């Protein structure tokens, strides 16, 4: 509690400065952790730890242990955010694109990638993660099948994020070759984020992706997207169903789900922290 109060005081000042300098930009409310720390406790919990925010809607006998598998302290989250903010020598930028593995850039630094059905919100999620570096161009679209190449974004010398074309709808012909080959061959791949639409839960195409990741023996994480659009009851139902499925039928899946909204920034701060952690850039202090 004391830690939270102290962080809120410091955050208040920097938040004001940010607001003053942010004129003219599109809405980025809650994009920065200092802003989130200004929220009242319940709202703060909902934005930073969306799963915990759902606990009040659950029956008392529901086991929520896996809601806290990854449970960083607020200071860990603040330290992780620094990696997602560009500064003098720390450059965050688009690096290159590839349609085949032999075109993929040779990068030794740790990498994470984002896969999932077309239109599920992969590019939007990367855009939200990079909201503190608005000059980084990440293209999103209402039209499914928008991202047609593997797009590599370098976060300084620390790690790389890879935006993938979606599967399922009008996927590029060589999608299977491109993404499957990447997942199988990429040596520096530390974690794969499989995005699932929180409004509809696991679909046939998602099950195929899960089977593929299980077969390749690749560690992956399920991210539930667009939670701002899902009524709470539906969200709770889908969270519990997916969690139950992951527990009973998967080996490589991280037990905790990561619900996110790329519009409201719910879950984005926690995900930044998780990415910093799995890429070896954030030893935990308070977990
Ligand atoms: N309300 C809401 N809409 C979202 C969210 N994330 C993405 N969207 C919308 O969903 C649509 C698709 O988003 P993209 O990020 O382009 O999806 P994608 O998975 O990259 O799609 P492909 O590149 O075609 O595979 C866009 O209209 C986004 O504005 C979210 O968190 N909340
Ligand atoms: Mg895309």
The position carrying tokens 């990741």 is 213
Ligand 1 in reach of 226 Cβ (< 6 A): yes
Atom of ligand 1 nearest to the CA of 145: 24
Tens of pLDDT, residue by residue over 149-204, are: 899 999 999 999 999 988 865 565 556 778 899 999 999 999 999 999 999 999 99
Gap from CA of 223 to ligand 1 centroid (Å): 13
Ligand 1 in reach of 127 Cβ (< 6 A): no
CB atoms within 10 A of CB 82: 14
- Residue 80: per-residue pLDDT: 97
- Residue 28: per-residue pLDDT: 76
The values of phi and psi at residue 111, to 5°, are: -135, 145
DSSP state of 117: B
Gap from CA of 271 to ligand 1 centroid (Å): 17
| CA gap 16, 18 in Å, rounded | 5
Pinpoint the alpha helices (H) of 22-91: 33-36, 41-48, 50-53, 74-83
Mutate to test the pocket of ligand 1, among 27, 116, 123, 124 (most ligand atoms within 8 A of CB): 124
What are the sequence ranges of the domains in the chain? 57-278
CATH assignment, 57-278: 3.40.50.300
| Positive or negative torsion for Cα 91, 88, 135, 123 | positive
Question: What average pLDDT does the segment 211-235 reach?
Answer: 96
Ligand 1 in reach of 229 Cβ (< 6 A): yes
Query: Helix (H, G, I), strand (E, B), or coil: what is residue 253?
Result: strand
Ligand 1 in reach of 165 Cβ (< 6 A): yes
Ligand 1 in reach of 225 Cβ (< 6 A): yes
pTM of the model: 0.91
Ligand 1 in reach of 263 Cβ (< 6 A): yes
Residue whose Cα lies nearest atom 23 of ligand 1: it is 147
Kind and range of the H or E run holding 193: strand 189-197
Tens of pLDDT, residue by residue over 62-107, are: 989 899 999 999 999 999 999 999 998 999 999 999 988 999 999 9
- Residue 283: per-residue pLDDT: 82
Closest CA to 239 of 222, 252, 262: 222
Banded model confidence at residue 33, pLDDT cuts 50, 70, 90:
very high
Query: Helix (H, G, I), strand (E, B), or coil: what is residue 155?
Result: strand
């Amino acid at each position: 509690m004391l830690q939270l109060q102290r962080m809120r005081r410091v955050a208040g000042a920097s938040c004001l400065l940010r607001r003053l300098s942010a004129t003219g930009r599109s809405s980025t409310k809650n994009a920065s952790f200092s802003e989130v720390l200004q929220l009242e406790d319940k709202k703060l919990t909902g934005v930073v730890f969306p799963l915990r925010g759902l606990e009040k809607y659950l029956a008392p006998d529901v086991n929520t242990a896996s809601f806290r598998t990854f449970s960083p302290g607020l200071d860990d989250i603040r330290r992780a955010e620094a990696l997602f903010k560009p500064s003098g020598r720390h450059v965050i930028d688009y690096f290159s694109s590839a349609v085949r593995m032999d075109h993929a850039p040779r990068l030794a630094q740790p990498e994470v990638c984002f896969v999932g059905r077309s239109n599920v919100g992969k590019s939007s999620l990367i855009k939200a993660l990079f909201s503190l570096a608005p000059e980084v161009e990440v293209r999103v679209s209402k039209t499914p099948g928008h991202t047609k190449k593997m797009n590599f974004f370098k976060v300084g010398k620390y790690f790389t994020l890879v935006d993938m074309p979606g599967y399922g709808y009008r996927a590029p012909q060589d999608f299977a070759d491109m993404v499957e080959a990447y997942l199988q061959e990429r040596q520096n791949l530390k974690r794969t984020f499989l995005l699932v639409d929180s409004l509809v839960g696991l679909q046939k195409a998602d099950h195929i992706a899960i089977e593929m990741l299980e077969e390749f023996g690749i560690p992956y994480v399920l991210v539930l997207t667009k939670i701002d659009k899902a009524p709470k009851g539906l969200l709770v139902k889908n969270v519990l169903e997916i969690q139950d499925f992951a527990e009973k039928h998967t080996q490589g899946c991280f037990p905790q789900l990561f619900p996110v909204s790329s519009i409201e920034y719910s879950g984005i701060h926690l995900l930044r922290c998780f990415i910093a952690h799995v890429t070896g850039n954030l030893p935990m202090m308070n977990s």
